[in-house]
Amino acid sequence: MIHEFEGSTEQEAIAKAMAALGLDENEFDVEIMEEAKKGLFSKGKVKIRIHVDEDGEGSSQGEPMVAMPELEKKLATFIETVIRKMGFTGRVVVTGWEDGKLHLDLQSPDANLLIGKHGKNLDALQVLVNVYGGNLYEAENTSAKVVLDSENYRSRREEHLVRLAHTTASQVRRTGTSKLLEPMNPFERRLIHTALNDLRDIRTESEGEGLIKQVRVMYVENR
C-alpha cells in the first residue's frame, strides 16, 4: 500500500507518516518524491512516498493478483530501456505476483555490475521503476509495488543479513558490549530487528538520519 506525506524536512514527513499509519519507522520503506527547495521567501517542502507491506488490515495477502500483461510489459520495458541507456544489455522477466507485489527478474551478463555493492544499483533501479509505475497505476486504477531481483540476489542478501544478525548477537553477548552494523535501507534494518527480536538479552536500535541508517546490536542484562 502506498501513502504520500509532506514536511519541511524528511524527518518531519516521516514523523507524520508514523503518526498517521501507527507504524514504527522500521516497518515501512521511504521513497523521496521531492526534495525541499529553499527560496528567498519559501522554505520548501519534502514530499515522500511510503510503501507498506500489505500484511495488516485490508491486506490482499494470500489472494492471488490478476495478471496485468500490458502493465507488466511496460514496467519490464522501462527497466530494459534504462539499463540499455546505461550501456548494458539484458532482459526483464515477470516471475509473478505475490501479496500485491509484482516480482521482476533482471537477467544480464552484467548482472554483478547492475546489482552493485550490497545491491545499491539494483535498489536504485527498483526505486526508478516504482516511481515510473506510480504514474501507470493511476491510469489502471490499481496500485502495486515492484520488487526487482537479479540472480536471486535478494534471497541471498536476506540469508546473509540474518546470519550476520545472529553472529553479531553472539559477539556482543560474549563481550558484553555493542556493535554498529553497516549502513542499511529500511527493509534490511527490519530484517535485523526481526531476527533478534525474541532474544531477551539483545536489543537493537537504528542510528543515523535519512533513509540509510545503521543498526546497533547491544547486549543488555535482565531484559
Edge-to-edge strand ranges of the sheet holding 202-207: 178-180, 214-219, 202-207
The model's pTM is: 0.65
- How many whole angstroms separate alpha carbon 217 and alpha carbon 202? 7
3-state secondary structure of 102: strand
Taking each helix axis as running N to C, give the angle between helix 120-140 and helix 69-85, from 0 to 180 degrees, rounded to the nearest 10: 140
Residue 138, exposed/middle/buried by CB under 10 A (0-12, 13-18, 19+)? exposed
Per-residue pLDDT of the chain (223 residues; tens, 9 = 90+): 567 778 777 777 777 776 666 566 666 677 676 665 555 444 567 777 776 654 443 344 444 456 678 888 999 999 999 999 999 999 999 999 887 788 999 999 999 999 999 898 998 999 899 888 887 766 555 667 889 999 999 999 999 999 999 999 999 999 999 999 999 888 899 899 999 998 999 999 999 887 788 999 999 986 5
Tell me the CA distances in angstroms from 62 to 98, 102, 136, 198, one per residue in order. Answer: 8, 14, 24, 26
| Domains, the chain | 2-51 (no CATH), 69-151 (3.30.300.20), 155-219 (3.30.1370.50)
CA distance to 60, 108, 138, per residue, from 153 (Å): 26, 13, 30
Q: Cα(194)–Cα(61) distance, rounded to whole angstroms?
A: 19
**Spatial separation of the C-alpha atoms in residues 50 and 197, rounded to whole Å:** 24
Q: For residue 218, what is its C-alpha cell?
A: 547491544
